[in-house]
Structure 1
């Protein structure tokens, strides 16, 4: 199987969901709308998780015009010599809101942005930080995505799917510093340990640990309070990446989606167990070339079926794991 990143437009994703589940597309969206500010943008609010560390939490939904693609988390750490941001959110407008939240906390300059991976909901706000002169760090595999037709077509589709929040002025932004393996940077005496753990959820996964804060930003390697998005992930590599996060024993983990975790082991275990179960129930059928639908119907999904995005994502996750095991 072609190992290129699985990345489709929201329209295409919705069609896949409808085909697999038989559920009308509208039912994939939760009924509770996100809170919206007076200027029409969704509410973005910084939450403090450590003395100098904050994050903003996206809604547990698929991206839409209604939620303005605010479906992922981003964070920032304030140091005596500037602010380091982790991920850039899913539109320039959301990034502007994040910058406003940072300004409520500190007048320090935003000096760096570390991208955990180049998925659209984490990077479409990046141009707003570049406008402020921030240095962008990302793993070098991200170059392959930026040069791909997938990235170009996804942005074209997003300009329709998320208009006006993503529009003709929204662009893909390359990193200033491409990281090959792992890299430590120090800003204002605060050490940031940037670890390469991909290919896992994405080929270019990075995690960011701040030992002085006892916080680790896990990107989309950890999901909390919703079904993970597997896409074209390397599920074996993903589970190995979770082992690496666990070894670091952080006090607090900020996931790519969902609330921050003060019990990282439990949330790491949830994501790992979900991936392991997908591999367990899909593996025999994939290796024996038995039909996917039969394997999916036989699996017991009761542990997960009540969670947000189960109907929208679970069948597709299982199918992608089924295909990836055939390619192993």
Structure 2
């Protein structure tokens, strides 16, 4: 007998915060749920990550309209995961922006990811009926770097390395030193690493550190209001990833099977990280991906609703 996904017990609504970081930048956060960033120029607005459903996105739009009547011209997808992109239709944006790598991942695994995530997160997809049929497709893609002018405000969109996925994109306001990091960085929240590159992610975090950001909107967790908090978030994300991967490497080198490695890694990580949001949910996915990478699967295997259940039964079954 196996337990249900840990996220199935996470049914209480979260308290939303809508915080001003500068005259141009805002953070929409909700106690460890996926964050949305907002950048407002003289002529247009960019929204970074859309929420899981159009109904959830409508709350973001309501809060934007309390501070600006500029058109929401751009939506940026920091990566392809369904909880980030399926609210896009609510914004009526002129362009949906994404890296070419993110576009390719949507082609390769978008349908499977959509079914997988809706099955995992009943609260976040409570209004799944509001999602239009099909997938959310970028209308404009770029490779490496792109600059968008919102009217006297340039936003730099960049891929600085693989990490959470191969398509991760950040948004950077260089004059204000504000960074929108997507799920490359988490704060007081467990990194979901089921589709990640464990060996590369820490190096990507090092590159983010070179920006010397003074404020940051992470993928999950509260907005970071000073350079000290930014460094703490980078260091915490890095420590989680390296601790988990080292534990899985050690178990694999000793010839242990996946379930044994999972239990030992869970027990090793729990004292330091168990109070981070979605720890119990992420750990089976994270250890599974680490085990794959240790054993030569350079690119993440596709999660399907069926594979989710099979994995959960294997690792969390009695």
Distance 1:171 1:48, change over 3 A: farther
The match for 2:315 is: none
Q: Does 1:146 align with 2:106?
A: yes
Q: TM-score, normalised by structure 1?
A: 0.79
Report how far residue 74 of structure 1 moved: 0.5
Counterpart-to-counterpart distance in 2, 1:140 and 1:113: 15
Task: State the match for 1:52 in structure 2.
Answer: 24
1:303-314 correspondence runs (5 A): 303-314=272-283
Give TM-score, length-normalised by structure 2.
Answer: 0.82
Spell out the pairing of 1:227-246 with structure 2 (5 A cutoff).
227-246=190-209
Secondary structure at 2:167 match in 1: coil
Shift in Å, 1:273: 0.6
Query: Displacement, 1:158?
Result: 6.1
RMSD: 2.4
Aligned length: 287
Alignment counterpart, residue 234 of structure 2, candidates 250, 268, 271 = 268
Whether 1:258 and 2:227 are equivalent positions in the alignment is: no
Report the more deviating stretch, 246-255 or 277-286.
277-286
Provide the rounded CA distance (Å) in 1 between the counterparts of 2:199 and 2:170.
Answer: 17
**Counterpart residue number, 2:79:** 117
Contact 2:50 2:84 in 1 (8 A): yes
Question: Aligned residue for 1:13?
Answer: none
Corresponding position: 1:72 with 2:52: no
C-alpha change, 1:227 and 1:84, in structure 2 (3 Å) is same
Gaps of 5+ in 1: 1-17, 36-42, 61-70
Per-residue deviation, 1:44: 5.0
Shift of 1:325: 1.5
Match for residue 40 of structure 1?
Answer: none
Q: CA offset at residue 285 of structure 1?
A: 2.8
| Deviation (angstroms), 1:73 | 0.5
8 Å CA contact 2:195–2:289 kept in 1: the answer is yes
2:84 and 2:4 map into 1 onto residues whose CA distance is 27
Q: Cα–Cα, structure 1 residues 268 and 168, in superposed 2: closer, same or farther, change >3 Å? A: closer
Aligned residues of 1:136 and 1:175 also touching (Cα < 8 A): yes
CA contact (8 A) 1:28 1:309 kept: no
Q: What whole-Å deviation, never above 9, does each CA across 1:44-78 have from its counterpart, x for those lacking one?
A: 55211223211111343xxxxxxxxxx31001111
Secondary structure of 2:27 counterpart:
strand
- Is the CA contact 1:44–1:98 (under 8 Å) kept in the aligned structure 2? no
SS in 1 for 2:238: helix
Unaligned runs of 5+ in 2: 299-318
**Which one of 266, 282, 293 corresponds to residue 259 of structure 2?**
293
Cα distance, 1:106 vs. partner?
A: 0.7
Match of 1:102 among 64, 67, 78: 64
C-alpha distance in 1 between matches for 2:187 and 2:131: 33
For the structure 1 residues 168 and 111, does the alpha-carbon distance in structure 2 shift closer, same or farther, using more than 3 Å as the test?
closer
Comparing 183-192 with 156-165, greater Cα deviation is found at 156-165
